[in-house]
Amino acid sequence: MRKNVKWERRQLRVILLCFAAYMLVYTGRLNFSIASPLFQQAGILTKAEIGVLGSTFFFVYGGGRLLNGCIGDYVAPKPFLTGGLALSALCNLGMALLPETGFMYGLWALNGLFQSMLWSAALRNVSMACPEEKTAKRAAMILSGSVGVGSVVAIVLATIMAGRGLRQIFAVPGALMLIMSLLLLLFLPSQTMPAATPKRHRLSCLRDPLLLRAILPAAFHGAIKENVTLWAPLLFMDRYELDLSKAAFYVFLMPLATLAGRMLFPVWYGKICGHNERKTLIWAFLLCAVTTVPLLLGGAPAWLAALALALISVCTSMINGELVSVFPINFRESNQVSAVSGIMDCATYGGSALSSAAFGFAISAFGYGGMFVVWLGLCLVSVGLLLCERPAGEK
């Protein structure tokens, strides 16, 4: 018997507007990756400065997700989403002016801060528009697809704009986000804030057993998720002696795999794991561990390495969809959806930021195999943490 979810027009409008808004967020984030070689060729930024700019964004974004996640539960989500998107747009438009390096650091750090306001606000808009928990979780799964779609759109758009000049890589996303913020202001319904939560319930989420056991796996999957894209180009150029154009073909599989993971997540969560959130995470980490094994074999052909990295991206995308999108919906009654989402995302990007330099040392000392051994260990430790005895009453 088929289970149908009936969406009201108001709910559909909220979901579609939030989906479009968060999809465009990635055009003003991943554009920097495409712009990096052009910055270097133009003599505007060195490799070291490019690296510092990238790390600055992730550290500010990770810390901002925790801060704004906690604040977001006590303010209306519409102005939080609209304002954050508009301010991020202005940062991108500022980058399009190609200011001095010091101003670039400030603008990109502020971009990380303003973008850290957006996911929790989008998730709360969707959650508050759907009164039933099952409906809210399905809406959250749809919203999580904006990450995959946005990643692909961002890379394609930035690649096209790169042919028109460095300024356009930032100016066009900035203009699109600014227009989208205006559309949100005009057409996104204002959500009614829930009654004030008693003080004794504030951050009671930190006593939730599954949340506590999921923090380290969130950091571990973040360490893998972001470093797939970071190290894949060098892996194919160093291990397989491919030129940049051929390596780029394999690297482009990663955002497509991220999108595939978001599209497969509802099936993985619902059909395969029976809406059991622990099983969703455990089986995804196990699949990720198994997929890492071919990468440990130095003689594996390039196509097999690309396939393995793509499957790892699919797994980490599904893990991210569970931790940041669906799991926080469990905390609607205590009005902590935004806080829990912020905690999970902070752990994810904290793991990403801290691991990048560590993997650089590991690759220098032991080759790429050293990094893949660590990935395998992180997956298995995550499975062990999630397999801990389930307390009574846990979902």
Note the pLDDT of residue 58.
80
Note the pLDDT of residue 392.
45
Angle at 213 between CA 209 and CA 217, to 5 degrees: 155
Which residues of the chain fall short of a pLDDT of 70? 1-7, 47, 192-203, 230, 244-245, 247-248, 357, 389-395
Residue type, 85: L
Tell me the fold of 205-390: Growth Hormone; Chain: A; (1.20.1250)
DSSP per residue, 125-185 = HHHHH--SHHHHHHHHHHHHHHHHHHHHHHHHHHHHHHTT-HHHHHHHHHHHHHHHHHHHH
Query: Per-residue pLDDT tens for 154-191?
Result: 988 988 898 898 999 999 999 999 999 999 999 999 87
Assigned superfamily of 10-189: MFS general substrate transporter like domains (1.20.1250.20)
Q: How many residues does the chain have?
A: 395
Query: Per-residue pLDDT tens for 30-78?
Result: 898 788 878 878 889 886 787 778 778 888 998 898 899 888 888 899 9
Distance CA(153)–CA(258), nearest Å, equals 12
Q: Any residues with CB less than 8 A from the CB of 273 and at least 6 apart, and which?
A: 279, 280, 283
Alpha helices, H only, 240-301? 244-251, 253-267, 277-296
Instruction: Report phi then psi at 317, rounded to 5.
Output: -65, -40
Q: Any residues with CB less than 8 A from the CB of 304 and at least 6 apart, and which?
A: 294
Distance CA(218)–CA(347), nearest Å, equals 6
Note the pLDDT of residue 198.
46
Written as six digits, the tokens of 328 are 């926080």
User: Is 205-390 in the same CATH topology as 10-189?
Assistant: yes
Domain ranges of the chain: 10-189, 205-390
Written as six digits, the tokens of 44 are 């505007």
Q: Is 69 left (phi over 0), alpha (psi -120 to 50) or beta?
A: alpha
Alpha helices, H only, the chain? 9-25, 31-41, 47-72, 77-95, 101-115, 118-129, 133-162, 166-187, 209-239, 244-251, 253-267, 277-296, 302-320, 337-366, 368-386
